[in-house]
Structure 1
Amino acid sequence: MRGFARHWPLVQAAAQSEIAAARFLQQHSKDLPQVLLKLPAKVKGRLFYNETVTGMNFGGSQMRMNAAIEQMLQNDAAGDRYCVQCVPVQQNFDTLQLDNPLLPADTKAFIWLGNNVTVPAHFDEASNIAVVVAGKRRFTLFPPEQVANLYIGPLDLTPAGQPVSMVNMLQPDLVAHPNYPQAYAAALSVELEPGDAIYIPTPWWHHVQSLSHFNVLVNYWWSDTYVGAALPFPMLLHALLSFKHMSEGQQHAWQQLLKHYLFAENGDPAAHLPAQAKGILGDMKPQLAQGIHQWLANQLK
């Protein structure tokens, strides 16, 4: 969506210069403590694992927002790069004017600031509108069907909560990841400038590369599903715990149940039931969702 936010005062400041955008943010900041991530020069700005995939290749420290922005503006002598991620706008920059006519007014906005940093391909559990407000960013999207060709890393040790592709998409190793060209062939890529926005549907994989010395992004997550629904990714982990070590016959049997109840491959699985008897298979009302959450909590104790 080219020019989606060109009228935002922050975008207009960025049109002058990256420094002007940084100063604008500092003026509107509540200057609260943040986690400033530091990426050593040798990792070339790629937020990723360490060499043994037992931890991360970056570290973090507490710093107030305005000082963190100042750190990003400096040309680090060692070549290290810095970023602050996923900061709630309302709590930290409540005077910024960031209207988004595509979403309800109460949809929460988050802001991401940093040097030229690369985030490996990952997915979000909600739909996403991302708005570039300073610097330039390149987004590369992969459809969910390409998951096997993206060589996804550990599910329970992740850089930022979601699993990421192990492929270095700027320098792919086709010996370690021979099927990646199939994902590349299916990819969509676009470069956005200040004021441009992109819609990223869930759960599409997306690789994000910041191309300028100082970059700012604002994003909005939202879901069209029932607001009280549990997030899908924890359910995937629980399903692995439940199904992965079953015998082949048991897995096949449960696969049929999942196809029937979850994906409705045979039509509405509750079509034969009276409306008042459908329970969880019917309309998800707040009271029912609360009861299910409580039942799950008791089962997992």
Structure 2
Amino acid sequence: MTLDLAALPSPREVSGVTADNFAAEITDIYQPAVLRGFASHWPLVQAGQQSDADAGRYLQQHSLDKPQVLLQLPAGLNGRLFYNDSLTGMNFSGSQTRMTAAIERMLQATPGGDRYCLQCVPVQDNFAGLMLDNPLLSADTKSFIWLGNGITVPAHFDEASNIAVVVAGKRRFTLFPPQQLANLYIGPLDLTPAGQPVSMVNMLAPDLTAHPNYPKAYAAALSVELHPGDAIYIPTPWWHHVQSLSAFNVLINYWWSNVYVASALPFPMLLHAIQAFKHLPDGQRQAWQYMLQHYLFAENGDPAAHLPAQAKGILGEMTPQLAQGLQRWLAAQLK
């Protein structure tokens, strides 16, 4: 069976998006969206449109040259960041390398040889003078840069909403709705290549004997190739597979969330819930399942409808003060 990612339908493309209509046009719809030419005016993008070397030199000129963890993938892996054969570690190694030298290593990489990448490097802490204006998000939203050769990141999710901007090279994003979780064959939750669990399916060469239900996920997927200056909005927790298609690739991304405190991010809570509930006797686990359905998913309606507003607490409107108080309470409970 041919499951070519390039044959999938594309996400919707949206133009004319401003800060005023961002929610109505993008985030309220809860679907990925492509913003063509979003950053075509960035000097870094314009450098990338000239050549890989121009983009690399531009970054080197603006780099603060701090040490980074440069990942190295041996030749023969086709650039796929993944596990080793026994799933006890990763198929790549990392070494401390200063930014300018790391970029040079990527630019000098030879076809068929080892491949290199830097992941999730905070822009503000590592570069000076990069003009990366994003009119859709608040000015204090942090940006991160991803640099590398032809690297493929398996399907994973982010815990925050994401706008990713292709700066140099080309990338293919393939996106799966959260409801396809069971058909993506997710790997270990507590040993991951980069913090989030990933699909075990090699989507460039799927093994349907090992992953027979993957075609169901493929049938629900969207895929798009982005060029320098293009951006994509990825809602959380949509799964996305990212393939860098050029010899040298640069991406800038922005994450943001309405969660007031970092400790309230959902994935750590999922792991704690597994720890708390998974090994309970069946009767107790079913009882807690009912409680979660009642309080968390409101399957019986508003669970606090019978309480006055001032007494609803965490079941009412979440405020920064309430979130911070709950964080302190949870920290005390989990000691």
Q: TM-score, normalized by length of structure 1?
A: 0.97
Hey, what's the Cα distance between the residues in 2 that align with 1:41 and 1:137? 20
Hey, what's the Cα distance between the residues in 2 that align with 1:300 and 1:94? 40
Q: Which deviations, in whole Å up to 9, do the C-alpha atoms of 1:134-166 show, x marking residues without a partner?
A: 000000000000000000000000000000000
> More displaced, 82-91 or 272-281?
272-281
Instruction: Tell me the secondary structure at the aligned position of residue 154 of structure 1.
Output: coil
Identity within the alignment, %: 79
Q: CA deviation at 1:94?
A: 2.9
| Partner AA of 1:186 in structure 2 | A
Question: Are positions 1:80 and 2:114 aligned together?
Answer: yes
Instruction: Tell me the secondary structure at the aligned position of residue 63 of structure 1.
Output: strand
Q: Which deviations, in whole Å up to 9, do the C-alpha atoms of 1:219-252 show, x marking residues without a partner?
A: 0001134456611000000000011112222222
Q: Which residue of structure 1 lines up, in the alignment, with residue 224 of structure 2?
A: 190
Q: Which residue of structure 1 lines up, in the alignment, with residue 9 of structure 2?
A: none
| Partner AA of 1:29 in structure 2 | S
Q: Which residue of structure 1 lines up, in the alignment, with residue 206 of structure 2?
A: 172
Q: Which residue of structure 2 lines up, in the alignment, with residue 15 of structure 1?
A: 49
Give the one of 150, 157, 170 matched to 1:123: 157
Q: Which deviations, in whole Å up to 9, do the C-alpha atoms of 1:79-114 show, x marking residues without a partner?
A: 100000100011111310001111111110000000
| Partner AA of 2:245 in structure 1 | L
| Partner AA of 1:38 in structure 2 | Q
Query: Are the counterparts in 2 of residues 243 and 251 from structure 1 also a CA contact under 8 Å?
Result: yes
Query: Are the counterparts in 2 of residues 174 and 180 from structure 1 also a CA contact under 8 Å?
Result: yes
Question: Are positions 1:137 and 2:165 aligned together?
Answer: no
Stretches (4+) displaced over 4 A: none
Hey, what's the Cα distance between the residues in 2 that align with 1:76 and 1:19? 14
Q: TM-score, normalized by length of structure 2?
A: 0.88
Give the one of 185, 198, 204 matched to 1:151: 185
Hey, what's the Cα distance between the residues in 2 that align with 1:272 and 1:229? 29
Query: Are the counterparts in 2 of residues 228 and 286 from structure 1 also a CA contact under 8 Å?
Result: no
Hey, what's the Cα distance between the residues in 1 that align with 2:128 and 2:266? 30
Query: Are the counterparts in 2 of residues 134 and 216 from structure 1 also a CA contact under 8 Å?
Result: yes
5+ unaligned residues in a row in structure 2: which ranges?
1-34
Q: Which residue of structure 2 lines up, in the alignment, with residue 25 of structure 1?
A: 59
Give the one of 72, 75, 83 matched to 1:41: 75
Hey, what's the Cα distance between the residues in 2 that align with 1:255 and 1:52? 34
Query: Are the counterparts in 1 of residues 174 and 242 from structure 2 also a CA contact under 8 Å?
Result: yes
| Partner AA of 2:247 in structure 1 | H
Hey, what's the Cα distance between the residues in 1 that align with 2:111 and 2:167? 27
Q: Which residue of structure 1 lines up, in the alignment, with residue 301 of structure 2?
A: 267
Question: Are positions 1:163 and 2:197 aligned together?
Answer: yes
| Partner AA of 1:125 in structure 2 | E
Question: Are positions 1:242 and 2:276 aligned together?
Answer: yes
Question: Are positions 1:58 and 2:64 aligned together?
Answer: no
Q: CA deviation at 1:182?
A: 0.4
5+ unaligned residues in a row in structure 1: which ranges?
none
Q: Which residue of structure 1 lines up, in the alignment, with residue 138 of structure 2?
A: 104
Question: Are positions 1:299 and 2:333 aligned together?
Answer: yes
